[in-house]
Amino acid sequence: MTRIDRRSFMVQSAAATAAAAVVGSGIAAESGQKRTAVDRVVLGKTGVRPSRLGMGTGSQGGRIQRELGQAAFDRLVRYAYDQGIRYFDTADNYKTHEMLRSALKGLPRDELFIQTKMRIQDADNVAKTLDRFRKELGTDYFDSVLIHCTRRNDWPKRLERMRDGLSKAKE
């Protein structure tokens, strides 16, 4: 079993983040304006425009958000939205899909960028898992779905079926 160590992961992640920042430098940068955390940036060639800063729902595995309770979590998400945040990150592991559904209720879906993450254990049930996620979050689609906690160097081969399932879902 080939595993990637934390240092290598951090170095590779930092390099990827820097590359993404250069490629998706955003509309504000093009117009000469000062960049802000809530600038909408173009993600690759997709035309999808999340805010530069996103709100995660997985602090300490989602425990922090769950312990807020639904009403306080709704207020926090709405505050973020009112400040210009349009990128919301969640995952099955955080157990916050339903909480985020409640918090985003009534907001224009075409203004939101929703990202979730799928566990490696769900590799054989991608379509079924995505259907469950859509129901839990109350959305017809996701802007981004990641494979959660992939730390092995051989992940492209090992998770080929999962990648194929995600590609099929994208189509």
Q: Whole-angstrom Cα distance, residue 74 to residue 101?
A: 9
In sequence order, which residues have a C-beta less than 8 Å from that of residue 141 and are 6 or more positions away?
A: 134
Q: Which two tokens stand for residue 31?
A: 């117009």
pLDDT of residue 135: 97
Contact indicator for 130, 137 with CB cutoff of 8 Å: no
Rounded to whole angstroms, how far apart are CA atoms 136 and 138? 6
- pLDDT per residue rounded down to tens, the chain (171 residues): 556 666 665 556 555 555 455 444 444 455 678 899 889 988 888 788 899 999 999 999 999 999 999 999 999 999 999 999 999 999 999 999 999 999 999 999 999 999 999 987 777 888 999 999 999 999 999 999 988 877 778 877 877 888 888 888 888
Whole-model pTM over 0.95: no
Nearest residue to 89 (alpha-carbon basis) of 107, 71, 77 = 77
Quick one: pLDDT at residue 106? Answer: 96
Question: What are the structural domains of the chain?
Answer: 6-170 (3.20.20.100)
